[in-house]
Amino acid sequence: MKKKFVDKLLDISRKNNSLLCVGLDPDPQKLPVKDVFEFNQAIIDATQDLVCAYKPNLAFYEAMGTRGLQVLKKTVAFIPQEIPVIGDAKRGDIGNTAAAYARALFEYYKFDAVTISPYLGYDSVEPFLNYRHGGVFVLCRTSNRSASDFQDLVDSFGMKFYQSVALKAEEWNRDGNIGLVVGATYPEELKDVRKMCPHMPLLIPGIGAQGGDLELSVKYGIDAHREKAVIVAARQVLYASKGDDYARAARKVARELRDSINRARGC
C-alpha cells in the first residue's frame, strides 16, 4: 500500500533529523552549468541526507517549454523514493478542470504533495483531496508583500480571510491529507495559524531572499512534537556558488540551515 504523504514526510524528517525543504527552482540564466537536469541532479545528490522534502516550482520548468517539463519529470523520478516531492503548482479552478490538474500532478508527474489555491471553494479543492495518499497544501497566508490585499480582509464576524481559510481547511481535512502554506515573513500570522490548526503540516516559504525570520518560523511553525513544519529554502541553496563548486556550496548552506532549524526547535 502506498504510504500517505504525512507519514512519508515524518519518516524522512526523523531519519535525516531535518525540517528543511529545498526548492528546486532553476533559473537557466543563473546556473553555473547549461544542463538544468544535471544541475538538479547535483543539488539532489549533495543535499538528500539533509532534507525532509524537495519542492520544484512548476513555473521555472514551464518557462523552458517542452524541454523544461521533461526536465521536471526526470527530476522527480531522480529524487530518492523515500523523500517526498511537493509540486508547487498553486492550481485552483472549477471542478472538472481541477480534476485534470490533480490527475496531471499526482499521476503524470507523480508528486507526493501539491500546492493549491482555495479561492474557488471546496469543489475546486475536492479533486485533489480524492488522492487520499497525496498531500494538499492550501494557500493560507502567503509570503509575498501584497498578501494583505485580500488575506487580511475582515468579514462581518471579525475573521480575517486567511483565518477563514485555515478553519475551512480543518473542516475539509477528513482524510488527514491537508496542510497549509504560511509564509515565514508573517510570524504572528504563522503563530495564529498553528494555534488554529495544531496537527496540520505547514509549508513555510520565505526564510531566504524574502527575509523571513528563521527562528520565529521554527518556533511558531512546529507542532507539539516539534515536527510538521516544512521550512523552504531555494535561492540561497541553489545559488550558494556560481562556480564549479556549486554542489558543495549548496550542501554547506543546506547543512547550516538544517542545523540552525534544529537548534531553534531544540533538537
| Nearest Cα residue to 44 out of 8, 91, 78, 82 | 78
| Nearest Cα residue to 129 out of 222, 2, 9, 4 | 4
Find the catalytic residue in 3, 4, 73, 90: 90
| Nearest Cα residue to 179 out of 160, 159, 201, 212 | 201
Q: Which residue stretches of 130-206 are H helix?
A: 148-151, 161-172, 187-196
| C-alpha dist (Å) from residue 89 to 43, 105, 113, 244, 261 | 21, 8, 10, 30, 26
| Nearest Cα residue to 59 out of 32, 84, 91 | 91
Q: Mind giving me the DSSP string for 243-256?
A: STTHHHHHHHHHHH
191 given a catalytic annotation:
no
Check if the beta carbon of residue 20 is closer than 8 Å to that of residue 236. Answer: no
Check if the beta carbon of residue 178 is closer than 8 Å to that of residue 199. Answer: no
The cell numbers describing 252, all together, are: 554547506
Task: Report the alpha-carbon distance of residue 175 to residue 130 in Å, rounded.
Answer: 9
Sheet holding 113-116, edge to edge: 53-56, 20-24, 229-233, 202-204, 178-182, 135-141, 113-116, 86-91
Check if the beta carbon of residue 162 is closer than 8 Å to that of residue 193. Answer: yes
Residues labelled catalytic: 90
